[in-house]
């Protein structure tokens, strides 16, 4: 699973790079394509298919579908992104048989929390211009990937909590990075305590002190 999340990161890097090649693409197109690609990635992990190959094809199908609609001056953009997603899913499932599917609860659960964390980090930023740098996530993703499932749940809760504070993206990532570095030193039992009391934390340089305060109460 550790390898799969890094593969997911590489796939998203390709997706974002492709997105910025086209100035006509907007945030609606970006977000819907991101969710579509993520679902196809998770489905592909459950098969014996080549993950990179199928996700690369999905990126191509999605953006080519959007480009064709734009070239035809289609005015129903909210609908066309959904149509593009359906097109990608149809292309994917046309190649999949029931015998290809190998569902594993542990893998599916880990995939869900990991991809949700990464999506939450990406979607915090304002994806409107090509100054967006995805590389800055990689070190944090590698750290997160080393956590237990309890740690992953705690990080996900913390990220969702950070959204309330309207931080700039640099501060947002810095708080996540600091929080990951701190909780990996705690046991799963202690992490569960932190996770249950996460909403008492505020995003600043005193996170470490506040975690210790939570554990001592």
**How does pLDDT run across 136-152, given as a tens digit for each residue?**
788 888 888 889 999 99
Do 42 and 116 belong together in one domain?
A: yes
Q: Rg for the chain (alpha carbons), in Å?
A: 19
pLDDT at 193 (0 to 100): 92
| pLDDT interval class at 35 (50, 70, 90) | very high
User: Is 34 found in the same domain as 93?
Assistant: yes
Same domain, 151 and 125: no
Q: What percent of the chain has pLDDT over 70?
A: 88
Per the domain annotation, does 142 fall within a domain? no
Mean pLDDT, rounded, for 160-189: 89
User: Mean pLDDT throughout 179-201?
Assistant: 91
> Do 156 and 65 have their domain in common?
no
Tell me, what's the pLDDT at 137?
80
Q: Considering 96, 131, 166, which residue would you say is the last residue of a domain?
A: 131
Residue 110 and residue 156 in one domain: no
Domain around 24: 1-131
What residues have CB less than 8 Å from 41, skipping those under 6 apart? 8, 11, 51, 55, 115
The answer to whether residues 40 and 116 belong to one domain is yes
The pLDDT, as a whole number, for residue 78 is: 53
Looking at the predicted structure, is the pLDDT value of residue 127 above 70? no
Tell me which range, 21-25, 56-60, 73-77, 200-204, is most confidently predicted by mean pLDDT.
56-60
- Whether the pLDDT of residue 106 is over 90: the answer is no
Q: What is the mean pLDDT of the chain?
A: 84
Are 172 and 114 part of one and the same domain? no
Would residue 137 count as lying in a domain? no
Q: 168 and 67: one domain? A: no
Whether 14 and 117 map to the same domain: the answer is yes
Average pLDDT on 122-130 reads 64
Identify whether 211 is part of a domain.
Answer: yes
Last residue of one domain, picked from the residues 76, 106, 131 = 131
pLDDT at residue 114 greater than cutoff 60: yes
Q: Is the pLDDT of residue 25 over 70?
A: yes
Same domain, 153 and 59: no
Among 94, 43, 89, 23, residue whose Cα is nearest residue 62? 89
Question: Do both 13 and 101 map to the same domain?
Answer: yes
- For position 79, what pLDDT does the model report? 59
Q: DSSP labels for the chain?
A: -HHHHHHHHHHHHHHHHHHHT-TT--HHHHHHHHHHHHHHHHHHHTSSS-HHHHHHHHHHHHHHHHHHHHHTT---HHHHHHHHHHHHHHHHHTT--GGG----HHHHHHHHHHHHHHHHHHHHS---STT--GGGGHHHHHHHTTS-HHHHHHHHHHHHHHGGG---HHHHHHHHHHHHHHHTTS-HHHHHHHHHTGGG--SSTTHHHHHHHHHH-
The per-residue pLDDT for range 45-86, each reduced to its tens digit, is: 888 788 899 999 999 999 999 888 877 765 555 557 888 999
Which pLDDT score is estimated for 86? 93
**Per the structure, how many domains does the chain have?**
2
> Which of 74, 99, 131 is a domain's end point?
131
Higher pLDDT, 203 or 130: 203
């Amino acid at each position: 699973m550790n390898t799969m999340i890094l593969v997911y990161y590489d796939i998203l890097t390709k997706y974002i790079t492709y997105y910025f090649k086209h100035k006509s693409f907007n945030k609606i197109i970006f977000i819907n394509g991101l969710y579509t690609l993520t679902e196809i990635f998770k489905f592909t992990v459950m098969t014996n298919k080549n993950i990179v190959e199928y996700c690369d094809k999905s990126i191509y199908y999605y953006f080519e579908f959007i480009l064709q609609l734009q070239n035809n001056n289609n005015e129903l953009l909210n609908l066309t992104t959904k149509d593009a997603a359906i097109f990608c899913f149809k292309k994917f499932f046309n190649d999949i048989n029931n015998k290809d599917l190998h569902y594993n609860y542990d893998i599916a659960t880990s995939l869900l929390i990991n991809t949700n964390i990464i999506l939450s980090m990406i979607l915090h930023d304002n994806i409107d211009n090509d100054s967006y740098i995805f590389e800055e996530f990689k070190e944090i993703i590698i750290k997160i990937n080393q956590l237990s499932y309890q740690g992953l749940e705690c990080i996900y809760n913390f990220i969702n909590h950070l959204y309330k504070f309207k931080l700039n993206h640099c501060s947002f990532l810095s708080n996540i990075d600091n929080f990951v570095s701190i909780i990996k030193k705690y046991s799963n039992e202690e992490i569960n305590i932190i996770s249950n009391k996460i909403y008492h934390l505020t995003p600043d340089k005193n996170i470490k002190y506040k975690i210790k305060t939570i554990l001592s109460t």
